[in-house]
Structure 1
Amino acid sequence: MVSEWQFEVPTAGSKRLPPDGRYMEALSSQGYGFEVAIADLVDNSIDAGAQNVVIHFLRDGNELVSLVIVDDGKGMDEDELDVAMTIGGRRGYDGKALGMFGTGLKSASLSHANSVTVVSRTKRTRPAGRRWLMEHAKRGFECDIIDPTYAQDFVDFYQGCPILFQGTIVRWDGVKDFPQHGGGGQTDRYLHRTVNKLGLHLGLHLHRFLARDDFHITISVQDVRTGVEYANYGVESLDPFGYPVPGDPTYPSDFTAHIPAVGTVTLNAHVWPPHSSLDEYKAFGAVVEREGFYFYRNDRLVQAGGWNNFRQPEQHLALARVAVSLPNDPDAMVFRLTVKKDGVQASPEFARALETAEDGKGRTFTEYLADAERVYREARKRAGVTRKPALPPGRGIDPQVRHVIEDELPLLAQDEPLQFRWQKLPNDRFFEIDQEARLLLLNQHYRAALLGGRSGSLNDAPMVKSLMYLLMQDAFQRERMGSRLKDNIELWQAVLVAAARAELDRMAD
């Protein structure tokens, strides 16, 4: 028993405990989103001085088989490649590098693929390659050496696209996110959805690089057998502060926050113009989630919105966005970047500094928030619109639709959300209402007609569900339905059943 507290813990030697092979599984289970993982690999290309990055989705007919990322950066020789493929390997990151921890390439890749192959060439060395195969990695960190002939052929294949004299290729095989069966248009739908989301994510988080004349990202879809390129998209910069005219002419303005551990931090505060329909404002999910701080590290956006425990998000601050460049002092611990580079943890010291932050006009940061809220409220008032509160959208409504509803309507936050479910009903009923359970049941018999033969999912038929959500607000908010509302419901039933049956007839022809 310790008789008194000891400030120093005594030791009796040391022992080396290497990680178990299962550490690779833990490393690849950090919750990387697909777009976040790809962005992490593009960061490596930027650090390598690449001017062009091409993201290839490779398909064999209807099947997606691999994903390949090619850049024209400075490349790596064999020794540098070994370091890059080592877990936690340090490549001598300088103060302006986007990489930090030495795990991104491996953890991002193996989160989404069963194997990752890296082939690289410098101006002075022949192509070399390494591969992490998850099964080998789990047996004891065994990294495969790629056959030199294949490495040369691989680089030759991408000669001029974009590799010229040097560059790096990252190849994912066994990609977990790819459709298992490409028939019935599944591959085309997956690519349409994924390429769009990926382009938006890269366009936002790398917008400062993409705005330059000497850096480009291209997403392409190519057939591995024929070489036919199905699609080719250039990723556009999406500046979250790219409005033509501010919502308040006295902004943007720089506020200065004094944080003892890191010194002075500048907060570049903006007020977006109200009712904006620009992609830079609305293309990234719910607007209320995109208000707040936009943290940058070496010009790379690492957090897009959020108040970091300074306050709670609310609709009235939807126009407030603040750009903050993180101080390059990892030992200060005031700002801690996540390994995935998709968020920042700020210490309470940052929130305290915001309370006294001021701009050159003597305005406090709290006054800035009040100005942003005022612009939002005045715009609503000028529009003469007072929208009736609605039940929160719940299970069965597509997240994109849910975000817009939350942005556009005041919600009855204390009420249970309105949910949707497919269920077997009489064929003369398109829907049924369960007021007590806040549930709107849709007739399973007509599901195929609404989906056009596509397979169903939890959030399918977003158009029909959105219209039903809007139509049925009165029915769910009233304890008793009057004769007029009941008559309207019967009218909607008849019209919707007729429309659904017409769709079934079309499918049968």
Structure 2
Amino acid sequence: MAHDWQFDVPTAGSKRLPPDARYMEALSSQGYSFEVAIADLVDNSIDAGAKDVVVHFLRDGDQLVSLLVVDDGRGMDEKALDVAMTVGGRRDYAAGALGMFGTGLKAASLSHASAVTVVTTTKRTRAVGRRWLMARAVSGFQCDIVVPDYAQSLIDRYDNKRPIEWQGTVVRWDGVKGFPKHGGGGQTDRYLHRTINKLGLHLGLHLHRFLARDDFNITIAVEDVRTGTVYMNFGVEPLDPFGYPVTGHPDYPRSFMAALPSVGRVTLEAHIWTPKSNLDEYRAVGSVMDRQGFYFYRHDRLVQAGGWNNFRQPEQHLSLARVAVDLPDDPGDAFRLTVKKSGVEATPEFSAALEKAGDASGRTFLDYLGAAETVYRDARKRSGTTRKPVLPPGKGLDPVVRETIEDELPIIPSEEPISLRWQKLDNDLFFAVDREDRTIVLNQHYRAAILGGRRGGLNDAPLIKSLMYMLLHQVFEKEYSGSREKDNLQLWQSILISAARAEVDRVADDD
């Protein structure tokens, strides 16, 4: 039976439905990684005109106690601070601002801390502070007012250590969820080394255009609050994803124009990286599959580092292709930025425009993709002439390592991969070879010592596993082991057992 369709939904008035206080829990569960959350705070510092930003880890002996992000920006008066601490607070963002939704400070902070305190001062106003304590926030959006004397003392603490003078902002996290619960046995040092390295790379990449300027710096530091000792104090270096010393193709970089009906012309700056590069600008960005594709910028801030946005599937043959795209100030409906500023959603309009994109000489964007693929294939041919095909690596080896092996070595097609796993073995064995399951088995007894107290997982111990794969992959390419190969296996077993036991003894001595 046919029915008339109403193109508008009839309504009978409206009613106000304010959010439940538990909305704060949803706000803090948006999947912010640690480094993405810190980058969001640094964005606020940049919007405030900061020249120097310090990411400061505070520890008390072996225990990490707080994390602070300190800047020498314009600061805020009390009214502006209340707006900043309001979820979705309405504020007018200046042209070129990195902030967008009014949720970043709260969502990023409460994703990782049970309390976030903001203390700030301007040239004309006294220091003021507010604190969101998660336990109070979820019971009714109750935001604490920080005692003025403490607010000033926190400002003064950093006034003597950087050019803050009369203005600036301090964001303090307490109850940070990712901090080690027990810092003994070197856990805190290992956590700091791993976390700071990852954070430095992330900030260096996503804010590389700002860090390349002479008047902007980010410092990551660690201080022991008991002794006042400051160490691991270093500046973040820019990590330009297009910072190759020599282009991979003489015709690139080259600019193409994509015409999108809703936003107009968008420039695509197409680059081809040098094959086999070991530079951090190429290798530290991510895996082969992750680092190819589009690098979207919004107001000079990198908001997506790689990916083809449904234009095509990532593949190894395009691992040298990177395209810089500066989003228009008004992206319309063609581009949508995620709240975390860690990705861009592009509509089919963008993909359609890429098919027709070209430059003034008549060269097309599709020609560029073909050129990038050719450079990669030619480099593989040159290296493949001297390298024997190998069985592919499989489960248990970090995906980045697997992709590097597949990038560097020709793979025997249609073969089951070699997996690596931990399993209980006799203590006089470091490894075992399971030909039937095509698996390298590592002795679970030595796992903790090799990991050095770090948490284990499917792809843990990448260095040891990579070496074991390189040492043993040829064993699986033969149906049986000859006398010479058996002797080698026994030799490797003896040496590795001695090394593993030495590692166990070293850990015991440290304890």
**TM-score class, shorter:** over 0.9
Q: How far apart, in 2, do the equivalents of 1:340 and 1:161 lie?
A: 31
Which residue of the partner structure matches residue 457 of structure 1? 456
Q: How does 1:126-275 map to 2 (within 5 A)?
A: 126-162=126-162, 163-275=164-276
CA apart distance, 1:251: 0.9
- Give, in whole Å, the separation in 2 of the partners of 1:504 and 1:342: 41
Which SS does the other structure have where 1:158 is aligned?
helix
Deviations, residues 147-187 of structure 1 (Å, cap 9, x unaligned):
11111111111114332111111000000111111100011
Q: What is the rounded CA distance, in whole Å, between the counterparts of 1:312 and 1:176 in structure 2?
A: 36
Query: 1:439-450 alignment to 2 at 5 Å?
Result: 439-447=439-447, 450=450
C-alpha distance in 1 between matches for 2:402 and 2:300? 31
- Residue deviations 1:41-79 (CA, integer Å, cap 9, x gap): 000000011111011000001110000000011111011
**Structure-2 separation of matches of 1:70 and 1:263:** 39
Q: 1:21 to 1:473 in 2, by over 3 A?
A: same
**Is the Cα contact below 8 Å between 1:54 and 1:161 reproduced in 2?**
no
Given the alignment of the two structures, is residue 88 of structure 1 paired with residue 88 of structure 2, yes or no? yes
User: For the residues of structure 1 that align with 2:89 and 2:261, how far apart are their CA atoms?
Assistant: 32
Counterpart CA distance in 2 for 1:504 and 1:316 is 43
1:213-255 C-alpha deviation (Å, 9 max, x unpaired):
1111000001112221022110011111111221111111100
**Alignment partner of 1:183: what SS?**
coil
1:317 aligns with 2:307: no
Cα deviation per residue 1:276-297 (whole Å; 9 max; x = unaligned)?
2211111122133111110000
| Change in CA separation of 1:234 and 1:401 when aligned onto 2, cut-off 3 Å | same
SS at match of 2:355: helix
2: CA distance, partners of 1:292 / 1:376? 14
Contact 2:113/2:177 (<8 A) preserved? yes
Is structure 2 residue 468 aligned with structure 1 residue 468? yes
Alpha-carbon separation, structure 2, partners of 1:2 and 1:11 = 24
Alpha-carbon deviations, 1:117-157, whole Å to 9, x = none? 00110111001111111001100111111111111111111
Following the alignment from structure 1 to structure 2, what is the Cα–Cα distance between the partners of residues 322 and 420?
Answer: 36
Q: Is the 8 A contact 1:392 1:415 kept in 2?
A: no
Q: 1:94 to 1:448 in 2, by over 3 A?
A: closer
Q: CA deviation at 1:486?
A: 4.7
- Contact 1:286 1:406 (C-alpha < 8 Å) held by counterparts: no
SS of aligned partner of 2:159:
coil
Contact 1:291–1:305, Cα closer than 8 Å, also in 2: yes
Q: Deviations over 1:335-376 (max 9, x none)?
A: 111100001011111111111111122111111011111112
- What does 1:35-434 align with in structure 2 at a 5 Å threshold? 35-162=35-162, 163-330=164-331, 332-383=332-383, 384-395=385-396, 397-398=397-398, 400-411=400-411, 417-434=417-434
What is the CA-CA distance between 1:417 and the residue it aligns to?
A: 4.7
Task: Tell me, yes or no, if the aligned pair for 1:48 and 1:75 is still in contact at 8 Å.
Answer: yes
- 8 Å Cα contact 2:239-2:280 kept in structure 1: yes
Rate the CA distance shift 1:180–1:501 in 2: closer, same or farther, 3 A: closer
Q: Is the 8 A contact 1:392 1:411 kept in 2?
A: no
Q: Secondary structure at the match of 1:440?
A: strand
Q: Is the partner of 2:302 in helix, strand or coil? A: strand
Q: 1:30 to 1:476 in 2, by over 3 A?
A: farther
* Structure 1 letter corresponding to 2:480: M
Mean CA deviation greater in 186-195 or 422-431: 422-431
Q: Indicate if the aligned counterparts of 1:261 and 1:334 stay in contact, CA closer than 8 A.
A: yes
Instruction: Look up the equivalent residue of 2:65 and give its one-letter code.
Output: V
Structure 1 contact 21–139 (Cα < 8 Å) conserved? yes
Paired with 2:31 and 2:414, the residues of 1 have a C-alpha distance of 31
Matched with 1:30 is 30
- Deviation track 1:371-416 (CA, whole Å, cap 9, x = no partner) reads 1111122223334444514323323x34553453354345568655
Change (3 A) 1:6 1:277: same
Aligned length: 505
Residues 356 and 385 from structure 1, CA distance in 2 versus in 1: closer, same or farther, beyond 3 angstroms?
farther
Compute the displacement of 1:318 (Å).
1.3
Cα separation, 1, equivalents of 2:135 and 2:413: 48
Contact 1:286–1:407 (8 Å) recurs in 2: no
> Contact 1:421 / 1:441 at 8 angstroms: preserved in 2?
yes
Q: Is the 8 A contact 2:219 2:234 kept in 1?
A: yes
Classify the secondary structure of the residue corresponding to 1:218. Answer: strand
Structure 2 runs not aligned, ≥5 long: none
Distance between the aligned counterparts of 1:335 and 1:152, measured in 2? 42
Letter in 2 for 1:321: R
> Partner residue of 1:481?
480
Distance 1:63 1:449, change over 3 A: closer
Q: Distance in 1 between matches of 2:209 and 2:47?
A: 14
AA of the residue aligned to 1:468: M
Letter in 2 for 1:135: A
In structure 2, relative to structure 1, the CA distance for the partners of 1:405 and 1:382 (3 Å cut) is: closer
Once residues 229 and 220 of structure 1 are traced to their aligned partners in structure 2, the CA distance between those partners, rounded to angstroms, is 7
Q: Say if 1:33 and 1:413 are closer, same or farther in 2 by CA, change over 3 A.
A: farther
Moved more, 108-117 or 397-406: 397-406
Question: Deviations along 1:419-471, whole A, 9 cap, x unmatched?
Answer: 333222223332223344443221233345545x6456124433321111122
Tell whether the 8 Å contact from 1:203 to 1:238 is kept in structure 2 after alignment: yes
Structure 1: how far apart are the matches of 2:455 and 2:340? 32
Cα 1:57–1:506 change in 2 (3 A) is closer
1:12 aligned partner: 12
Amino acid at match of 1:483: G
Calculate the aligned-residue CA RMSD, in Å.
2.2
How far apart are the structure 2 equivalents of 1:466 and 1:345?
36
Give deviations 1:257-276, integer Å, cap 9, x for gaps. 11111110000001111222
- Structure 1 stretch 408-417 or stretch 52-61: which is displaced more? 408-417
Q: Is contact 1:337-1:344 (8 Å) kept?
A: yes
Q: Shift of residue 40 of structure 1?
A: 0.4
Work out whether residues 35 and 197 of structure 1, in 8 Å CA contact, stay in contact via their aligned partners in 2.
yes
Letter in 1 for 2:282: Y
> Structure 1 CA distance, aligned partners of 2:312 and 2:290?
13
Q: Deviations over 1:9-34 (max 9, x none)?
A: 11111111111111111110000010
Range with greater deviation from structure 2 (427-436 or 463-472) = 427-436
Report the TM-score, using the length of structure 1 for normalisation: 0.94
Unaligned runs of 5+ in 1: none
3-state SS of 2:393 partner: coil
Native 8 Å contact 2:116 2:173 kept in 1 = yes
